Amino acid sequence: MKIVAPPEGALLVHEVGLRDGLQMEKLVVPTEQKIAWIEALLDSGIDGVQLGSFVHPEKMPQMADTDRLFHHFTDRGTERERPVLSGLVLNEKGLERGLACGVEVFCMGVSASETHSRKNTGMSIEDANRRILAMAREAKAAGRYVQVSVQSAFGCGYEGPVPMERVLSIVRTYLDAGLASLSLADTAGHATPDRAEDLFARVRVLDPSASWACHFHNTYGLALANCYAARRMGVRIFETSVAGLGGCPFAKVAGGNTCTEDLVHALQRDGLRRDVRLDALLDVARDVARFFGRDMAGSVYRTGPVPVPAPVLAQRS
């Protein structure tokens, strides 16, 4: 599973728009429309797609078809190489549903903000961490891959700055439990490039062999800059959302995720990830804008990309 254990030096794109992106939208997207977008994303050359979250359908109708989406794409078998399919789980019931419908990578996490944790899960940090560790062990025992995250790692809209030691403490519990695929999530969008470099430098020292992902929100316009800062510190997995959709419903001020096509465009201008079909991502972003009837947060789908020379060999690093 390359999203969990990326090849040495590879830069990977994990698309989370169908989950993090849509959870803020009031207009529920029909399953057939989601399938069309997912098909295009799978064919674009990105490395992972998060199909949804296993939450109560009455609380979040946008995610009511998550089980159906996984059955649709996993029941077809492995007739073609495709990106990894991930799903977010918050509790034991969600894990049970995910195991039943073929989730390949389970994403689960704990907030470093007590206020955000209670609004998001109804639990304290300590209780949430205890349950997540138990769920992670169960998922691994079932032969599934697990990525754990620290949410609100760079600050909280309710509490303001989050103590770095609290973030490091949560990370230590993950590493002590043998969980070596981790993500730092900037749920409130408070990260800056300097802060991103500092925090990723500190967590990577705890276990240099661990695999790290970054999940930035563009609430204050710094998501892409923060991705580059994280990359300088050895982060290789970038969680992004097509068209810049996104935002946590339980954040005080919600902002979209790092825009997938904008990040890919930036990387390709540096000669990286030329194997990804940027045109396919731009088509999805434009279709998302048409569906919701408004301009989206992304830039390149409106301006068009800067032309780059075709490489002799596609690069994936």
What pLDDT score does 247 carry? 64
Domains of the chain, CATH where assigned:
12-302 (3.20.20.70)
Closest to 303 (Cα-Cα) out of 291, 316, 286: 286
Look up residue 14 and give its two tokens.
Answer: 């994990």
Q: Is the pLDDT of residue 123 over 80?
A: yes
**Cβ-based neighbours of 298, under 8 Å, separated by 6 or more:** 242, 243, 244, 259, 260, 261, 262, 285
What pLDDT score does 312 carry? 44
pLDDT digit string, tens, across residues 8-61 = 778 999 999 999 999 889 999 999 999 999 999 999 999 999 999 999 998 899
pLDDT digit string, tens, across residues 218-254 = 999 999 999 999 999 999 999 999 999 976 654 555 5
Mean pLDDT (the chain) is: 91
Look up residue 153 and give its two tokens.
Answer: 């790692």
Q: Is the pLDDT of residue 313 over 50?
A: no
The region of weakest confidence among 81-85, 140-144, 262-266 is 81-85
What pLDDT score does 307 carry? 86
What pLDDT score does 208 carry? 95
Q: Which of 101, 156, 248, 259 is catalytic?
A: 248
**Cα 116 from chain centroid (whole Å):** 18
* Residue 61 identity (one-letter amino acid): P
What pLDDT score does 311 carry? 56
**What percentage of the chain has pLDDT greater than the value 90?**
81
Would you place residue 255 in the very low, low, confident or very high pLDDT band (cuts 50, 70, 90)? low
pTM of this structure? 0.93
Separation between Cα atoms, residue 247 and residue 24, nearest integer Å: 6
Residue 49's beta-bridge partner residues? 15, 85
pLDDT digit string, tens, across residues 60-94 = 999 999 999 999 998 765 545 789 999 999 999 99
- 120-157 burial string, b = 16+ CB within 10 Å, else e? bbebebeebbebbbebbebbeeeebbbbbbbbbbbbbb
The region of weakest confidence among 3-12, 74-83, 133-142 is 74-83
**Cβ-based neighbours of 88, under 8 Å, separated by 6 or more:** 19, 50, 52, 53, 54, 94, 106, 107, 108
Q: Is the pLDDT of residue 199 over 60?
A: yes
pLDDT digit string, tens, across residues 150-182 = 999 999 988 999 999 999 999 999 999 999 999
Angle at 245 between CA 271 and CA 225, to 5 degrees: 45
Separation between Cα atoms, residue 72 and residue 62, nearest integer Å: 17
What pLDDT score does 144 carry? 96
What pLDDT score does 101 carry? 95
Q: Is 259 one of the catalytic residues?
A: no
What pLDDT score does 151 carry? 95
Look up residue 289 and give its two tokens.
Answer: 């804008």
What pLDDT score does 117 carry? 85
What pLDDT score does 80 carry? 54
Q: Count of residues for the chain?
A: 317
**214 — alpha (psi -120 to 50), left (phi > 0) or beta?**
beta
